[in-house]
Amino acid sequence: MPVHPLADQAATLRRETLTFLRAPFGQEVWSWLMAQGHSFTMPASWSARARSHQAESLVAAESKRVADGVTFAMDSDLIQAARTVGQDQSIPLPFTADVLPAPSGMLAFSRQDPLMTIGPHPVIAATWGPPMDGFGPGVHLTWWTALPDEAQEPDAAARGRLIPMNPDFDLHLSFLPRLDTRLLQPKEELSSGLLYSAVPLRTVVAAWYALTADTTTLSEQRPQAAVTQALKELKAKKRGVQVATTPDADTTRRDITERAAQKMSAVGAPDDWSKPSPEFAATSKKVSHGVFDPALDHQLDAGQRRIAHIYREAAAHWHRLETQANQKYPGIFAHLEELRAREHKDWQPWCWVPRRLVSAYLKAKYDTPPRTALWDGARIAALGAWRNGGRHSILTTMPLQETAGDRAPVNLPTTMPAPGLGMVIDDNGTIHLLLACLDDVSDHGPADAELLLTSNYGDPAGMLEDITKLTLFLTGDDLLDAVKTTQAYYDDAAAVNSGKRPRSATDAETAQHTYSMQLFTGLLAAICAPGADLLDAGAPTGRKLPATWPPQPNILSEMTLWLLATPPETP
């Protein structure tokens, strides 16, 4: 059987890519890309891992997609049709499961006939597969560009350090009813954070449309025997290549646009769709109590009813703060998410958005007075980190003294499983609600990370302006020393700003403040400890399947409550 040139080309790229991903060099490249500021889509729980562990997990996931999926190649007419539709942003491209040619796969091209070019870089492949943990229905998609020959190391192939293609961009792409706005809106209506990826994303989806078009013919073709054998040794499945052909580019282009128009008319007007939010949910108009709806309390025992009451008080309080922030600063969380998508490489990955940037944004975009922007910036930074992490909150069922400790929680940047966490403390009937997040202060503070806590101090009706904040630079081992370092830094800052140094705290006042911080930092350290045993508080009601700790991104607007029953043993 003669070797098909497109099949051989696609299978060879697949073989080279699997070899690259399976070698230690692949993890080196991913770690280097992350160090240079390249952002990869991943479950929220992975962001708390060391960069090397993140790279290992990302490479393993991509390797599985390439090994398990179907390989596709397209003739020049199909490629031209996909390019034309992808670049015409007036054509909406609704994405549904039947648009995919396979649940997972690799679509391979060449430098001579790429899917498209991004600047000078040819897109030579797209890979996709099932969504990652915590994401909604859809696919994880990556498109890849060719690395210039001069960027390869000398004799790279012989030394096992060949980079067959470079990951340019990856994302979670949702199925309808969630529609990625890049597939719908003209270029001039897209936010700046989406412009770079709009045409490539559209072109990949147009290529999927082309592969599943009625006028397209798919036939399985074989590469050279040596390539097939190499794929077998790499444990790749489906080692043939599906080669797609069409009578002509115009026929396919019409097929794509007509099919896309039919899908658009079938799903209704854009106002009827849910807005895309694959990683976090927008603030709902009304607070949702989920499985703890008060109308169902009669089905619960006394202990569960108490937890339901606590859940509703916490959910209502934080929902009110989100709503107030959006009323005071319309669209603030959406604006900051866009800022984060655009500029996150400028700060540490464990920080949602540095509060200094939040405060600066409030002053620049909302004309907020500096003092108000300073205070509201901290509150909104904590709320935003909590929302972005999935609105996960933890209720302790033990006295705070059991987790209190005199060590500074300097490991939080590597152990916090989400950008922000809620802490719910039941203190003899009074509910204390705190939000904890980490602030990147490496440009102006005595440590790279500062713990930011906001608290309602037991006031269930507290408004946004009533929420207080506590901060602690994560430095050294001793908590008392960390508190003194933090106090000295802010005393110095106040002296610079006002020209007058505030009264320094007495030793007794510092000791009392340190004891209060012990209760909160000890609880947070216990929650984030590797051996922590946390249970989904909603599961015992029998109304939901239990979630697993560490928490995952959440596209629901309702809060997830966890129970910390016993602290992990100290190593």
Residue 421, pLDDT > 90, answer: yes
Helix H or strand E segment including 61: helix 51-68
Q: Of 69-73, 295-299, 461-465, 553-557, which gets the smallest average pLDDT?
A: 553-557
Q: Cβ distance 304 to 541 under 8 Å? A: yes
Token pair 């997830």 is at which residue?
560
* Closest alpha carbon to 100 in 193, 197, 243, 209: 209
Predicted local distance difference test score (pLDDT) of residue 48: 64
**Would you state the structure tokens that stand for residue 410, as one six-digit string?**
């300097």
Task: Name the amino acid, one letter, at 50.
Answer: A
Q: Where are the beta strands (DSSP E) in 159-240?
A: 166-174, 217-221
Q: Cβ distance 344 to 193 under 8 Å? A: no
Task: Name the amino acid, one letter, at 509.
Answer: E
Angle, CA of 340, 354 and 345, to the nearest 5°: 45
Predicted local distance difference test score (pLDDT) of residue 269: 47
Helix H or strand E segment including 139: strand 138-145
* Closest alpha carbon to 143 in 164, 115, 178: 115
Helix H or strand E segment including 241: strand 241-245
Token pair 């099932």 is at which residue?
130
Axis-axis angle for helices 355-366, 332-343 (nearest 10) = 120
Q: What percent of the chain has pLDDT over 90?
A: 54
Structure confidence by residue, pLDDT tens digits, 99-116: 999 999 999 999 999 999
Q: Where are the alpha helices (DSSP H) in 329-431?
A: 332-343, 355-366, 370-388, 412-415
Predicted local distance difference test score (pLDDT) of residue 563: 93
Strands 534-536 and 116-118: unpaired
Token pair 């709320």 is at which residue?
383
According to the 3-state scheme, what is the secondary structure of 547-570? CCCCCCCECCCCCEEEEECCCCCC
Residue 276, pLDDT > 60, answer: no
Residues 258, 50: Cα–Cα separation, whole Å: 47
How many residues in the chain?
Answer: 571
Residue 512, pLDDT > 60, answer: yes
The values of phi and psi at residue 209, to 5°, are: -55, -45
Q: Cβ distance 337 to 357 under 8 Å? A: no
Q: Cβ distance 309 to 293 under 8 Å? A: no
Predicted local distance difference test score (pLDDT) of residue 18: 96
Structure confidence by residue, pLDDT tens digits, 16-57: 999 999 999 999 999 998 888 788 888 866 766 778 888 999
Residues 39, 348: Cα–Cα separation, whole Å: 11
Residue 391, pLDDT > 80, answer: yes
Residues 201, 143: Cα–Cα separation, whole Å: 8
Of 148-152, 210-214, 507-511, 566-570, give the range with the top mean pLDDT: 210-214
Q: Cβ distance 534 to 562 under 8 Å? A: yes
Q: Which residues contact 92 (CB under 8 A, 6 or more apart)?
A: 183, 184, 260, 261, 264
Query: Averaged over 338-356, what is the pLDDT?
Result: 89
Structure confidence by residue, pLDDT tens digits, 392-407: 999 987 778 888 888 9
Q: Of 90-94, 102-106, 345-349, 556-560, which gets the smallest average pLDDT?
A: 556-560
Q: Which residues contact 276 (CB under 8 A, 6 or more apart)?
A: 174, 178, 179, 180, 181
Average pLDDT, the chain: 88
Q: Cβ distance 32 to 398 under 8 Å? A: no
Residue 330, pLDDT > 90, answer: no
Q: Of 299-313, 459-473, 531-545, 549-563, which gets the smallest average pLDDT?
A: 549-563
Helix H or strand E segment including 71: strand 70-74
Predicted local distance difference test score (pLDDT) of residue 278: 40
Helix H or strand E segment including 392: strand 392-396
Structure confidence by residue, pLDDT tens digits, 199-243: 999 999 999 999 999 999 999 999 999 999 999 999 999 999 999
Q: What percent of the chain has pLDDT over 70?
A: 94
* Closest alpha carbon to 285 in 320, 315, 334, 310: 320
* Closest alpha carbon to 405 in 482, 488, 468: 482
Residues 359, 376: Cα–Cα separation, whole Å: 7
Direct distance between the N- and C-terminal alpha carbons of the chain, in angstroms, rounded to an integer: 63
**Would you state the structure tokens that stand for residue 32, as one six-digit string?**
């280097």
